[in-house]
Amino acid sequence: MPLIASFEKHGLIESIRELRKRPAGTYGIAIAAVGLAVALRMAVGSQLLPGLSFITFYPAIIIAALVGGFSRGLLATVLSALAAWYLFVPTYEGWGLDYYSAFSLALFCVICLANLGLVYLLDTAIDRALSQEQNVRTLIQSAPNGVLVVDNDGRITLVNASLEQLFGYKQSELLGREVEMLVNEITAPKHRQLREAYAAHPEARPMGWGRDLSARRKDGSEFPVEIGLNPIKRNGKNGVLATVIDVTERMRAQESQQLIIRELHHRTQNLFAVIEAIVARSFDECKTRAEAKDALRGRIHALATAYATVTNTSGKHASLRGFLSEQLAAFSDRISLSGCNVLVSPSAAQQFALIAHELATNALKYGALSIPQGRISIEGRIDRVDGAGHLSFVWRETGGPPASAPARRGFGSVILMDVTKQWASEVAADFSKGGLVYSFRVPLDLIEFSLRHGGGRSFDAAAS
């Protein structure tokens, strides 16, 4: 890794790599290098010791191979051999060579080929190393998580694009700076101590290493992070590669999950309390087991319908008009429904389900639904003033037998009057010759589902 980095940072290496993209230029350099070697050989020819006739050609061949690769080095070798043969090696009868000269020229060619082989191997190793380094850098830069490298002194030596975007800094603003600039001033001293302790005993630590961490952006805002650490060596020095993940959304999801669990627990406990009250009251007020069974079945069914409606809307709210229509679907041809266009919270849906069930049961036994001519109208009028408001609910029976007040207070009376008075005002039941008129008025903030707060204020529909 240090060797790779040093090559990559060397400007000459990058210049040579760029030059190799122009073949004509590299061939020209090979020829020029041989020409320079010839000129230099002529200039110092008289001062050379015997056996060093080819000394000036070796650098030319190596330069040609380094700059242009193996083929340019081979060209330089051939040109050097021909130039030396023609100009500097003793000959007889034209191009003829004596034994010593032929051996020297052959040895020169062998040494040059060996040098070319070494240069080729070195060149291949450098290319492979640079390619691997570039691949690693590309991988780091394209990583979706923030990545930075910190040396043993705590200074940032490398960052990727994701980390720049995560913290709002440019690369030039981070390189060479202490990593503590990415945490707030209060936790910076503790972070420095932890970093120094880690540097003394480095080890790979996975994401979410049992510690809640907070990072600071350039604008001063803070956000929760998870950091994975891996010790590395860079430029001959120890360092740490850190992977940074913003876990804001994950923590929000966990908080939302915990809220749902708490809400589910609350609703379940409330539902059990309601069922317990329904069972107890149903058996107390009914004379026979069959009557208790029918009353209990109807009331449980009303609750189930309300909860099914809430479940179909992701457990957050229900349309009052919608689930009243479902509750009274068996009498739809004799019931008219107007208004009630409001989304109510789950607890409110539960209360309205019990009210609608008790009114429909009473109407079926004693009121408008007990004879074919009877009719029922339900009206839910909403009055809003300055964002607040009330729901006025009216159940009106007509065409049935005269209504009379119940002789005893059963569970239905408790639901319709006592429990409703806990969250509604102006609760009234008018038993007249024309039929029962039941009404109440309730603040919307008690029953309406609120997008901002996640629901209206809750109330307990279980009667004691």
Distances (CA, A) of 201 to 113, 137, 193, 244, 382: 49, 26, 13, 21, 69
Distances (CA, A) of 282 to 293, 302, 407, 410, 449: 8, 14, 17, 8, 31
Give the amino acid at 395.
W
Instruction: For residue 258, give the CATH number of its domain.
Output: 3.30.565.10
Instruction: For residue 223, give the CATH number of its domain.
Output: 3.30.450.20
pLDDT given for residue 271 in this prediction: 57
DSSP-assigned letters across all residues of 227-259:
EEEEEEEETTEEEEEEEEEE-HHHHHHHHHHHH
- Spell out the alpha helix ranges (H) of 143-207: 161-167, 171-174, 188-200
Q: Which of 111-115, 175-179, 286-290 has the lowest mean pLDDT?
A: 286-290
**Are 241 and 387 found together in one domain?**
no
**Are 43 and 88 found together in one domain?**
yes
Where residue 314 falls among pLDDT bands split at 50, 70, 90? very low
Contact 220, 240 (CB under 8 A): no
- Burial state string for 2-29 with b = 16 or more CB within 10 A and e = fewer than 16: eebeebeeeeeeeebeeebeeeeebbeb
DSSP state of 369: G
Q: What sign results for the dihedral spanned by CA atoms 177, 183, 185, 189?
A: negative
In a domain, 458, yes or no: no
In a domain, 462, yes or no: no
Is the pLDDT at 146 greater than 70, yes or no? yes
- As given in the structure block, the two tokens for residue 297 are 């079945």
**Are 342 and 396 found together in one domain?**
yes
**Cα 406 off chain centre by:** 61
pLDDT given for residue 459 in this prediction: 45
Contact 336, 377 (CB under 8 A): yes
pLDDT digits (tens, 9 = 90+) for 328-381: 777 888 889 998 888 888 778 778 877 887 888 888 888 888 888 899 999 999
Where residue 89 falls among pLDDT bands split at 50, 70, 90? confident
The edge-to-edge listing of strands for the beta sheet with 425-432 is 335-339, 375-385, 388-398, 435-443, 425-432
| CA–CA dist 264, 308 (Å, integer) | 15
Structural domain boundaries, residue 258: 251-447
Distances (CA, A) of 454 to 81, 253, 443: 90, 15, 17
**Are 114 and 152 found together in one domain?**
no
- Per the prediction, the chain carries an average pLDDT of 77
Contact 145, 243 (CB under 8 A): yes
| CA–CA dist 455, 348 (Å, integer) | 10
| CA–CA dist 273, 280 (Å, integer) | 11
* Domain end among 116, 142, 168: 142
Is the pLDDT at 142 greater than 90, yes or no? no
In a domain, 297, yes or no: yes
pLDDT given for residue 451 in this prediction: 41
Strands in 399-464 per DSSP E: 425-432, 435-443
| CA–CA dist 410, 318 (Å, integer) | 28
pLDDT digits (tens, 9 = 90+) for 121-141: 888 887 787 777 777 777 777
pTM given for the model:
0.45
In a domain, 452, yes or no: no
**Are 152 and 122 found together in one domain?**
no
**Are 6 and 119 found together in one domain?**
yes
* Domain end among 142, 171, 198: 142
* Domain end among 226, 246, 266: 246
**Are 134 and 151 found together in one domain?**
no
- The residues facing 437 across adjacent strands are 396, 430
- Give how many domains the chain has, as a whole number: 3
**Are 404 and 383 found together in one domain?**
yes
Portion of the chain with pLDDT greater than 70, in percent: 75
In a domain, 264, yes or no: yes
pLDDT given for residue 463 in this prediction: 40
In a domain, 431, yes or no: yes
| CA–CA dist 365, 295 (Å, integer) | 12
**Are 158 and 72 found together in one domain?**
no
pLDDT digits (tens, 9 = 90+) for 206-259: 655 545 688 999 999 999 888 888 888 766 778 888 888 888 888 887 777 776
In a domain, 69, yes or no: yes
